[in-house]
Structure 1
Amino acid sequence: MSSSDSAAPRVTVLLSNVLERFEPKEALPEGEEKKITLAELIDALDERAFGLGILILALPCAIPFLYGIPQIVALPMLALAAQLAAGREHPWLPKALGERQISVKGLKNVVDRARKTIGFVENLSAPRLTFLSDGVGARIIGALMLIPAASILVPLPMTNTPPGIGVAIASVGLLQRDGFLILLGLTASVCWVFLLIFVGAEGISALKDLIVSRL
């Protein structure tokens, strides 16, 4: 992401442009779905590949009570966040992650469900605190994104939806060069993860005390 970008294209337009590339050219047999690999998806992204890639992967995680898919996309999300933290210019996925397949129709449905929300968030965005979307700032943001992405890997209630929403908001901030949105999304997701850790630790401690008291 270059600091010379003057007006960032709308996120909804970027998403639509990416998905259009994978629409089936002709009708598929009944019961069949067009699928693409995660590597094909990442390769199709432009110079805003990190922000857009993390956003696309975060959207399924933001849907409440959806399990399975968030755990599939969490590892690639971790890989992209780690590379953003390392200062890579272009994202890359290891072969094992890149070969994972995802339904084009399913991905399009997720994006369509989130389109109004994304549009609302980007309407609130404006270039501010732009140092957080470039250079050292972007690397720090990538490192912080590892925390909610790791939470999404855990297949337990409430470990994916709030972190997914926070990462999605932060990704829109990266794309729109809005440091305020980046901070808002990451603060919400990271605080949620630490709240879960605290509640979990307290619950384990209380359960342990209960068991000991009955021995």
Structure 2
Amino acid sequence: MSHAPSPHTFLQSLEAMADEAGEEGYSLRAIFARLDERAFGAGLFLLALPCAIPFLYLVPQVVSLPMMALTLQMLAGREEPWLPEKFGERRIDKPGLTRMSRFGRKWFGWLEKISHPRMSWLTGKSAERVLALFLTVFCASILLPIPSTNTVPGIGVAIIAFGLMSRDGLLVILGLIIGTAWIALLITAALYGFDAATDLLRALLGRG
């Protein structure tokens, strides 16, 4: 007997999954299967959420390499996302899922309200490989062993991914601006001194 498709939005589905999870949570493969998402945008948005949460440790490191695996598949022109087994078996526990869903609703719920198809040429297959190149660089910056450096690129990737899901090119542009500005800051830090850039980052995060 067939069932009608769920009317839930992506964030609502994530909230429901966090509520239902046991203490051990779910593997990334199980999460992808439960959300029944086959688009790169949905997978990247899901994985970018924990990276965008300030001062959340361990979970961003769990998902950053799988994020890069997805962006490299986009770059190669693959039609659907696929997680290698060693990435797919990585787990996000219930507290991590709960923080992801709450953070997603609090900080990205507005995207569901304002997003709609526009400038859709920026979300099509012809543009996807160019976006994948930027996304790969943004995701690679999350791997840097510097505290609190996952938040800004995580936000950039999440907004781009939501734009891909909703075919909203304006959101894609916004995410590109955020991510590119972050990469420019990292380059500035490398060229002009890590200490000065660290002071600026602390000031931006209100921890100075």
For 1:142, which of 119, 126, 132 is the aligned residue?
A: 132
- Number of the residue aligned with 2:67: 77
Deviation at 1:47, TM superposition (A): 5.0
Deviation at 1:128, TM superposition (A): 1.2
> Aligned in 2, Cα 1:105/1:159: closer, same or farther, shift over 3 Å?
closer
Alignment coverage as a number of residue pairs: 191
Q: What runs of 5+ residues in structure 2 fail to find an aligned partner?
A: 1-5, 197-208
Query: Normalization by structure 1: what TM-score?
Result: 0.78
CA contact (8 A) 2:160 2:173 kept: yes
Q: Report the equivalent of 1:17.
A: 13
Superposition RMSD on alpha carbons, in Å? Answer: 2.6
Does residue 118 in structure 1 map to residue 114 in structure 2?
no
TM-score w.r.t. length of structure 2: 0.81
* From 179, 192, 195, the counterpart of 2:185: 195
Distance 2:149 2:41 in 1: 22
Listed one character per residue, the Cα deviations across residues 106-141 of structure 1 (whole Å, up to 9, x for unaligned) are 213321222032221232222111012121112221
Q: Call closer, same or farther: CA 1:164–1:145 in 2, change over 3 Å.
A: same
Secondary structure of the corresponding residue to residue 44 of structure 1:
helix
The match for 1:162 is 152
CA distance in 1, matches of 2:95, 2:171: 29
Pick closer, same or farther for the CA change 1:137–1:165 going to 2, 3 Å. Answer: same
**CA drift at 1:176:** 1.0
Q: 1:120 to 1:177 in 2, by over 3 A?
A: same
The corresponding residue for 1:4 is none
Residue of structure 1 in register with 2:204 after alignment: none
Distance 2:54 2:19 in 1: 26
Measured after TM superposition, the shift of residue 22 of structure 1 is 7.0
Which secondary structure does the structure 1 equivalent of 2:26 belong to?
Answer: strand
1:28-81 per-position Cα deviation (integer Å, ceiling 9, x unaligned): 6xxxx1321112222334355311111111111111122221111100011111
Q: Is 1:127 aligned with 2:123?
A: no
CA distance in 1, matches of 2:15, 2:148: 28
- Would the alpha carbon gap of residues 196 and 166 (structure 1) be closer, same or farther in structure 2, given more than 3 Å must change? same
Identify which of 50, 73, 78 aligns with 1:60.
50
Q: Report whether the alignment pairs 1:49 with 2:49.
A: no
Shift, 1:167, TM fit: 0.8
Unaligned runs of 5+ in 1: 1-8, 207-215
Secondary structure (helix, strand or coil) at the match of 1:154 reads coil
Match of 1:6 in 2: none
